[in-house]
Chains A and B, each alone.
Chain A
Amino acid sequence: MKRIFSSLADGKGFDIALIVFPLAFLFVMAGLPLIYNVVMSFQEVDMFSLGTFARPFVGFKNYVTLFSQPETWPILKNTAIFVVASIAGQFIAGFALALFFWTNFPGASWLRGLFLVSWVMPGLVVGAIWNWILSGDFGVLNYLLTALGIIDGNIFWRSDPNFSLWAVIIANIWLGTSFNMILLSVGLSAIPKDLFEAAELDGANAFQRFWTITLPMMRSTIGAIISLGLIFTLQQFDLFAAITSGGPNNSSNVTQYWAWDLSFRQYDFAQGATISVVMIVFVMMASIVYVRSTRHEVRG
């Protein structure tokens, strides 16, 4: 007893006490659900069997059903479009802004930080704002595009199946650009200034310096940011709930919204769990890329 107490006060026991409870908590509250999710994807789950643990196992039936449904492939395609377009938009806009703010004029860092409000706002609020901006008849975006002569009739962003997914993508790009920009700024400021001075003395112009110094030096940062972008984009749920609810007719539905919709709107928990498992495997692969690229960052 005395030894345990003294280890708690002076030795490894202190570290163990500090780490055991959080790890146990995480295991029970995040690890077990993950396992339970996989289990449910192999079970028949309905409203009646929801309360019991003894549910019939059905093998891969849920997976077979999932991939035989007519909406599955369009939704996977939407997810891919949503992810690629969002990341591309966030990254390009973020990089452009980061490069602009790189010239350290007075006030630059404060203004740059201000952009991040888009990222700290509740997703539902961002969704509500864009819902209104993208409104068909009275939305300010349609007004601007008409006034600039880009379009001649109003686009019904939220209700036109050709545009509904893009409505969410626009809102998501706005939301994530600032985060990309801040992280890219950090990466830019970590490049030693004398590299650019040396390249300038070697006769490289601004464009050549960007291609031969900036981009290669930023490689690991860019890798980390793109995989972070992938992770965040696949987590995006609130915007779908606020802007289109996946509609009309699944034209803006993506897997992370569909999984929830299946479980909580259609009460098909087994299908919800099954699509979750598929996506979680994918997200985990993305995060391995992220971990590897941040590792690289640390080693420099």
Chain B
Amino acid sequence: MSNQTELQIALTGVNKHYGAYHALKNIDLRIAKGSFVALVGPSGCGKSTLLRSMAGLETITSGDLVIAGERMNAVPPRKRDLAMVFQSYALYPHMTVEENLTYSLRIRGVKKAEAKKAAEEVAATTGLSGLMGRYPRELSGGQRQRVAMSRAIIRHPKAFLFDEPLSNLDAALRVHMRKEIRALHDRLGATSVYVTHDQIEAMTMADHVVVMRQGVIEQQGAPLDLYDRPVNRFVAGFIGSPAMNFVPAVAADDGRSIILPFGEGQHLPVNRPVPRGRSLIAGLRPEHLVIDPTGAGPIRLDVATVESTGSNSYIATASKPDIVLVTNGRSPVSVGSRISIGIAPEHVHLFDAGTEARIAVEG
């Protein structure tokens, strides 16, 4: 992100402790105005704690939290002017849809007629117009989700905070709402922070993805940057579906290829020099592996299983570790047959076996 863009939320050296438990470790994060940032990671990685710290529902132990130019560390949630969409939607069960929508306005002293008008405008854009008199228990899951969204929109907040808002919806509706939330974000010119454990959601919706593990930001950047240049084995395995194959390897004497542990000393050429004898982990994305019909591919293994979804086939090899590759359409090979697999040298990811950090292309 360039320096010219206006920052909406900035976290510097933020830490959060629960007693002895260190939940957030030295978090640095800049969220530009108008951007859509996804916080993604396995459960317990601290992504929700980070979001709740921005909202003020958790107080940070140290560091700085700045929202729209103001330091907000100890400011109560109501004075932060952020809107949050909860995983459970948190709709007030004793209020109608309209009362849910106008609640924040009424607290701020907006006149009744004005609040009602604002609610009707928002409801019209989110398709809730006919449901204003209903109670949350009388709505479907998708409708509740929309009420939660509308309740956030009506306030024109400094930023929207989403805490896994789609995880209670069925798969089809989730895909649909993904697009809708992103479209809404663009239309409102809003700033959004979106927590999810689903990397596909993060990759498809966000312009900036933050991958977290155990309270640490492992990597952040544009979605495809993370896909192309993961900084370590964790990010490489987390981003992409099906997950990357990891194979222990040793750098060969020629310095331009690596030796895989599949017997016969299978050599795999790489596009960067590696010091001989160094222990490595090779990362091979299933979609980058191709079956070489001529049999000239550098990796030769037997097929253990073939799973086909019709559009794709997932082929797993009988080896230790096994290797999964994806082909379009029907599988060209059958179980038990020997295949020869190739991969373009620039697609081979290399990680140090000890630190698991990426070994970058030099120069």
Direct contact of A and B (CB under 8 A): yes
Which size class do A's interface residues fall under? under 10
Residue of B nearest to A10 (CB): B76
- Cβ of B156 < 8 Å from any Cβ of A? no
Q: Chain B interface (Cβ within 8 Å of chain A)?
A: 76-78
- Cβ of A216 < 8 Å from any Cβ of B? no
A6→B78 CA distance, assembly (Å): 12
A9→B79 CA distance, assembly (Å): 12
A11→B79 CA distance, assembly (Å): 13
Closest 6 CB pairs of A and B: A10-B76, A11-B76, A10-B78, A6-B76, A9-B76, A10-B77
Q: Which residues of B are found within 8 Å of A10, using beta-carbon distances?
A: 76-78
A23→B71 CA distance, assembly (Å): 37
Majority secondary structure, B binding face: helix
Q: Chain A interface (Cβ within 8 Å of chain B)?
A: 6, 9-11
Q: Which residues of B are found within 8 Å of A9, using beta-carbon distances?
A: 76
Q: Which residues of A are found within 8 Å of B77, using beta-carbon distances?
A: 10
Shortest distance in angstroms between B219's beta carbon and chain A's nearest beta carbon?
Answer: 35
Shortest distance in angstroms between A100's beta carbon and chain B's nearest beta carbon?
Answer: 35
Shortest distance in angstroms between A54's beta carbon and chain B's nearest beta carbon?
Answer: 47
Q: Which residues of B are found within 8 Å of A11, using beta-carbon distances?
A: 76
A172→B78 CA distance, assembly (Å): 55
Q: Which residues of B are found within 8 Å of A6, using beta-carbon distances?
A: 76
Q: Which residues of A are found within 8 Å of B78, using beta-carbon distances?
A: 10
A9→B76 CA distance, assembly (Å): 9
Shortest distance in angstroms between B58's beta carbon and chain A's nearest beta carbon?
Answer: 13
Shortest distance in angstroms between B201's beta carbon and chain A's nearest beta carbon?
Answer: 33
Residue of B nearest to A11 (CB): B76
A10→B59 CA distance, assembly (Å): 12
Residue of A nearest to B56 (CB): A10
Residue of A9, A10, A11 ringed by the most chain B CB atoms within 10 A: A10
A189→B76 CA distance, assembly (Å): 44
Shortest distance in angstroms between A13's beta carbon and chain B's nearest beta carbon?
Answer: 11
Residue of B nearest to A7 (CB): B76
Residue of A nearest to B59 (CB): A11
Shortest distance in angstroms between A4's beta carbon and chain B's nearest beta carbon?
Answer: 14
A10→B79 CA distance, assembly (Å): 10
A6→B75 CA distance, assembly (Å): 10
A9→B78 CA distance, assembly (Å): 11
Shortest distance in angstroms between A9's beta carbon and chain B's nearest beta carbon?
Answer: 8
Shortest distance in angstroms between B73's beta carbon and chain A's nearest beta carbon?
Answer: 13
A10→B57 CA distance, assembly (Å): 11
Shortest distance in angstroms between B314's beta carbon and chain A's nearest beta carbon?
Answer: 34
A44→B77 CA distance, assembly (Å): 60
A10→B75 CA distance, assembly (Å): 9
A-B contact pairs, 6 of them (CB 8 A): A6-B76, A9-B76, A10-B76, A10-B77, A10-B78, A11-B76
A11→B78 CA distance, assembly (Å): 12
A9→B75 CA distance, assembly (Å): 12
A11→B77 CA distance, assembly (Å): 10
Shortest distance in angstroms between A223's beta carbon and chain B's nearest beta carbon?
Answer: 32
Shortest distance in angstroms between A7's beta carbon and chain B's nearest beta carbon?
Answer: 10
A194→B78 CA distance, assembly (Å): 47
Residue of B nearest to A3 (CB): B74
Shortest distance in angstroms between B260's beta carbon and chain A's nearest beta carbon?
Answer: 48
Shortest distance in angstroms between A142's beta carbon and chain B's nearest beta carbon?
Answer: 56
Q: Which residues of A are found within 8 Å of B76, using beta-carbon distances?
A: 6, 9-11
A11→B76 CA distance, assembly (Å): 8
A6→B74 CA distance, assembly (Å): 11
Shortest distance in angstroms between B247's beta carbon and chain A's nearest beta carbon?
Answer: 43
Shortest distance in angstroms between B152's beta carbon and chain A's nearest beta carbon?
Answer: 21
Shortest distance in angstroms between A14's beta carbon and chain B's nearest beta carbon?
Answer: 11
A11→B74 CA distance, assembly (Å): 10
Residue of A nearest to B75 (CB): A10
Shortest distance in angstroms between A8's beta carbon and chain B's nearest beta carbon?
Answer: 11
Residue of A nearest to B79 (CB): A10
Shortest distance in angstroms between B182's beta carbon and chain A's nearest beta carbon?
Answer: 34
